[in-house]
């Protein structure tokens, strides 16, 4: 495992060593190549070549010698180099215009996608509401179905009404019995109250008779005592005589 790690590390160092420049230097080089139309690191850039052609042509024109052919040759070389330099510029212009159009299309596509996303979010919210409403409706249907099953388990209405009628008759009979029982209870209360009153009267009469009897016995006892005293006095007087 350590050997593999070392091997990969060495390979990474070798790959890194193949790069002559770092990322920052690469950005500078790419920017320079785009500005100067340089596609390789070898040779002069096109703008420098064009400058050299133009410098050579101007130098040849400034000479006083009879060098018309040389000037013409250098002029053609300069124009050819200018054409060569202009073609990539035209291509770059076309690419820039294409990129601008592509960017505009991308912005339009982005706006359309954003609009579709907002519409999709709104649709999702609507679907959520519909789902909640569907759940509530389904729950109501299930409750109604449960109530319907309970109703189906109950007897027919005619039988229920018959049972209710019989119960009402039983209730009426019980009310009648209750009324009769209440009347009988009220009668028994009155009879019991009368009985208590009679018992009280009887008890009072007995008490009065007992008092009268006691009084009579007391009076008889006193009379007897008085009679005995009178008899004893008479016998004593007879003996004295």
For 43-73, the pLDDT digits (tens) are: 666 777 777 777 877 777 777 667 677 777 8
Mean pLDDT (the chain, rounded): 78
Say if CB 187 and CB 179 are below 8 A apart. Answer: no
pTM over the 0.85 mark: no
The candidate with the shortest Cα–Cα distance to 54, out of 86, 37, 32, 76, is 76
Q: What is the pLDDT of residues 191-208, one digit of tens each?
A: 888 888 888 888 888 888
Look at residue 88 and tell me whether its pLDDT is greater than 70.
yes
First to last CA, the chain: 175
74: exposed, middle or buried (Cβ count in 10 Å: 0-12, 13-18, 19+):
buried
Specify the 3-state DSSP secondary structure of 214: helix
The structure tokens 């209870």 sit at 185
Kindly report the length of the chain: 241
- Domain segments of the chain: what residues? 23-150, 158-225
Angstrom distance (rounded) from CA 142 to CA 149? 10
Average pLDDT estimate for 18-39: 61
- The band of 213, judged by pLDDT with boundaries at 50, 70 and 90, is confident
- H/E stretch holding 64: none
- The band of 127, judged by pLDDT with boundaries at 50, 70 and 90, is very high
pLDDT score recorded for residue 135: 94
């Amino acid at each position: 495992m350590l050997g593999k790690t070392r091997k990969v590390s060495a390979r990474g160092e070798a790959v890194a060593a193949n790069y002559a420049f770092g990322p920052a230097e690469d950005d500078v080089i790419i920017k320079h190549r785009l500005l100067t139309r340089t596609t390789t690191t070898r040779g002069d850039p096109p703008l420098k070549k064009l400058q050299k052609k133009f410098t050579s042509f101007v130098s040849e024109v400034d000479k006083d010698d009879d060098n018309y052919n040389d000037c013409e040759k250098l002029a053609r070389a300069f124009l050819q180099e200018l054409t060569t330099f202009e073609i990539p510029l035209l291509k770059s212009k076309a690419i820039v215009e294409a990129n601008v159009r592509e960017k505009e299309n991308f912005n339009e596509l982005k706006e359309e996608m954003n609009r579709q996303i907002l519409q999709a979010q709104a649709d999702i919210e609507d679907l959520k509401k519909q789902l909640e409403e569907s759940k509530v409706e389904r729950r109501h249907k299930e409750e109604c179905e449960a109530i319907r099953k309970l109703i189906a388990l109950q007897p027919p209405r005619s039988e229920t009404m018959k049972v209710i009628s019989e119960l009402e008759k039983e209730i009426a009979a019980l009310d009648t019995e209750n009324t009769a029982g209440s009347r009988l209870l009220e009668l028994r209360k009155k009879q019991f109250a009368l009985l208590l009153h009679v018992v009280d009267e009887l008890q009072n009469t007995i008490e009065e008779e007992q008092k009268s009897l006691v009084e009579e016995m007391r009076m008889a006892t006193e009379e007897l005592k008085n009679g005995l005293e009178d008899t004893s006095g008479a016998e004593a007087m007879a003996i004295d005589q």
